[in-house]
Amino acid sequence: MKFSIALFALAFAVSVGTMFAADPPPWAYGFEGPPQAGATVIPVPPAKPDPTPRTVPGATAKYSRTEISNRFGPADWFPSEHPQMPDVVAHGKQSNVWACGLCHYPNGKGRAENAGVSGLSTEYFIHTMRDFKNENRKSADPRKANTNLMIQFAKNMTDDEIKAAAEYFGAIKWTTPWIKVVESKTAPKTKPSNGLFITEGSEMEPLGNRIVETPVDGEATEVLRDPHSSFIAYVPIGSVKKGEALVTKGGGKTTACGVCHGADLKGLGPVPSLAGRSPSYLMRQMFDMQQNFRKGTWTELMKPVVANLTADDMLNIVAYTASRTP
Ligand code: HEC
Ligand code: HEC
């Protein structure tokens, strides 16, 4: 009897242990702490109306804050820097598909809380939109509203609209760095805002075991959506090197990534690139795949890759991939 109670206690401890191991790392999902039991989606609020005309460095146009965040026709600050946008990218489709350019920017570089989508192969882009549509791509953090929005958009798009968006973003080559990686013991104090961490003032705090990916200029990114205003990722000291070992050799825990993602991690055939992409985004994807929230047919190839990685391994991996030139 005593023995079986002890056994039960042990089994319970193990299951609680795995439960905690499966908590989505909050820094990658845009929250300050893990989700509590019964947590549900936190909706994205519409921006407060503000008619004051604004501009960004180098642009000639002026837009009000309301226009900048118009879900069906957001600001396009630099129209000469990208091909003509298909209607769905520029305007979305009333009432369930928002303009792709709103979150991913017209140049497709995207932000930490969503994803860089430029330069992806058309084949992968279409495949992954279908995964969203079939609910094979969900977020491990139930609060992450914009993953649900992607599902909603994909469900309401025609195949032609998906193809047009895929061809548009795929044709924009991603070559300039967008995220600067800095190894550091400290990071600026940030506050979460709709999935993005915004720096407040100049106060620093210990970084600990996380990555703080934040806009270089919070106002330019959050309010103005300036597609020239980039990001900085504070990563723990030594993480890039540890990540490099796992990525290039596998370290007995995983498969070297270059086999499928290309030796330079810039993508290979339909397999997406990893180099220079948002570490928060890639962390979410690896974690979601490991925990079976992302599970399309192609995800099968990634399952054994992530199966034995700890959250720290994944953090080190994405610190390294983010530090590579895109
Ligand atoms: C409200 C913001 C928002 C809008 C608008 C938006 N997306 Fe997204 N998109 C996201 C988020 C968030 C993710 C990443 C989800 C995650 O991390 O779980 C994403 C991911 C993607 C990905 C996956 C990229 C990859 O590497 O696998 C593709 C493709 C994509 N979006 C296409 C589109 C298209 C096409 C449109 C326009 C119809 C669009 N998105 C509009 C927020 C948005
Ligand atoms: C056997 C081939 C293979 C290997 C090895 C591999 N990957 Fe992948 N990876 C893929 C495929 C295929 C996809 C697309 C999965 C999908 O569509 O769901 C992918 C997707 C990803 C994504 C999501 C990208 C996005 O745009 O959403 C990440 C992150 C990733 N891999 C990281 C890695 C890392 C890190 C390694 C090495 C430790 C690695 N992969 C090794 C085949 C591979």
264-282 pLDDT, tens per residue? 999 999 999 999 999 999 9
Averaged pLDDT for residues 151-155: 98
Does residue 150 line the site of ligand 2, with CB under 6 A? no
Q: What is the pLDDT of residue 43?
A: 85
Average pLDDT score over the chain: 93
| b/e 16-52 (16+ beta carbons within 10 angstroms → b) | eeeeeeeebbbbbbbbeeebeeeeeeeebeeeeeeee
CATH 1.10.760.10 residue ranges for the chain: 53-170, 179-323
- Whose CA is closest to 130, among 153, 106, 146, 102? 153
Does residue 319 line the site of ligand 2, with CB under 6 A? no
Residue 162 near residue 126 (C-beta atoms within 8 A):
yes
Q: How far is Cα 137 from Cα 187, in angstroms, rounded to an integer? A: 31
Domain 53-170 has CATH 1.10.760.10: yes
Does residue 317 line the site of ligand 2, with CB under 6 A? yes
What separation in Å is there between the alpha carbon of 300 and the centre of ligand 2? 10
- Whose CA is closest to 273, among 117, 104, 90? 117
- Percentage of the chain with pLDDT > 70? 94
Among protein residues, the one whose CA lies closest to atom 17 of ligand 2: 298
Averaged pLDDT for residues 91-113: 98
Q: What is the pLDDT of residue 77?
A: 98
**Among the atoms of ligand 1, which is closest to the Cα of residue 129?**
29
> Is residue 91 pLDDT above 60, yes or no?
yes
Q: What is the pLDDT of residue 45?
A: 83
What separation in Å is there between the alpha carbon of 132 and the centre of ligand 1? 9
Least confident of 33-47, 145-159, 210-224, 231-245: 33-47
Q: How far is Cα 311 from Cα 286, in angstroms, rounded to an integer? A: 9
Tokens of 271: 């397999």
pTM, to two decimals: 0.94
Averaged pLDDT for residues 2-31: 59
Architecture of the structural domain at 179-323: Orthogonal Bundle (1.10)
Averaged pLDDT for residues 185-204: 95
Ligand closest to Cα of 114 equals 1
> Ligand 1, residues 72, 88, 97, 114: which to mutate, most atoms within 8 A of Cβ?
114
**Among the atoms of ligand 2, which is closest to the Cα of residue 127?**
17
Among protein residues, the one whose CA lies closest to atom 21 of ligand 1: 115
- Whose CA is closest to 92, among 84, 82, 102, 83? 102
